[in-house]
Structure 1
Amino acid sequence: MFYAPVLFNTLGFKNDASLYSAVITGAVNVLSTIVSIYSVDKVGRRVLLLEAGVQMFLSQVVIAIILGFKVADHSDNLSKGYAIFVVILVCTFVSAFAWSIGPLGWLISSEIFPLETRSAGQSVTVCVNLLFTFVIAQAFLSMLCHFKFGIFLFFSGWVFIMSIFVFFLVPETKNIPIEEMIERVWKQHWFWRRFVEDEYDNEKVNADYQL
């Protein structure tokens, strides 16, 4: 989103078309975020994340294929039909991001931490998020120049990894109070439950130790 006009200009769009395309993707971003607000508690966090993962992965791969053919043909500009199709694919990616990992990255992290560690956990989450946002913002133009259409394959690979992580390791937190998060989420999860201490067992061990 930072470099949308530059990206579209690189793809062969003229200056005005690049700006208009960036405005369109920005509008899609806003509208899709609103969709997330109204749907997140109905369909659940995992459903939105996994559906968006497939949507983002496919849109980036298709964009890379189209641009790969453009590079192979040594053409400087995309035809009008291909240009419109690329804008639609970019909007498809942006919409998926805006109703999933964009807002839910902040929502889920505010739900999963226990009350005792929420401030520290949320602080680390914000720091890591802003750090990698800064890194990508600084490196994107150089990556675009070196990778060319391969940059879309690079990010689609990370989207695939994210989707695998969500599928296996991110629990569903829909309609679960924060006070019950440990009992109803972490202790029921196939992987994380082995790292969650049972409060009753701890009290029993302490009582036995005192005796």
Structure 2
Amino acid sequence: MAYHFVIQKDGVIYWCYDSETISYHVDNSNRHVLGICLVGDFRTQQPTAAQIEATQRLLQYLQVEIPTMKQVLGHQEYSGYAWKNCPAFPMGTFRTNYSQFLQKTVGKVDKPKQIPVAIRLNGELLAVTGFLQEGVSMLPERPVSNAAGGKVEWIEQTKDVRVNGKNLNEKIIAGSAYAPARELAAGLCLQVEWDGSTNTVILRG
């Protein structure tokens, strides 16, 4: 698999590689490019509405996670690929529609009061944090799942994130999905403990 993300016609996103992983899909640009593949032959058909919306939400999420990500380019817009009719739909139109999507969704993310929560997985302190809200520890689904070897999917039809095929009661905050610690731990088949003296969620396999 050469892409970091693959988006099916029904809007389901398959997360194939972490953003830190170099994959091979655009030659000399691989070191600083994330590859997103929409399933289909767009020389003879159009991306589905679910694919477009899923792509827009994925890009929004990635640009929050990676603030240095400034450009959204099609395969044929990279040096040496002008000959390749890929993705075979007008990228200028796509970028215009994406800009309008961002304008509509700006300021519509949940911003609760947060008490930072540290996360330990099998004794190792993770580089990400969760937060405590109304007595519930909320953990970032993607990085915790990746660290635990879990599978994360975005379900466009229901606007849900699945971890190992299970739906969780997540909150989308600034483009990132957070789930209750006990639900996320159950989805990853982990035991969970709370250390109130250090505000730390402890996960064990």
* TM-score of the superposed pair, with normalisation by structure 1: 0.29
User: Which structure would you say has the larger Rg?
Assistant: 1
Q: Compare the two structures and name the one with the higher strand fraction.
A: 2
* TM-score of the superposed pair, with normalisation by structure 2: 0.29
Q: Which has the higher contact order (CA 8 A, sep 6+)?
A: 1
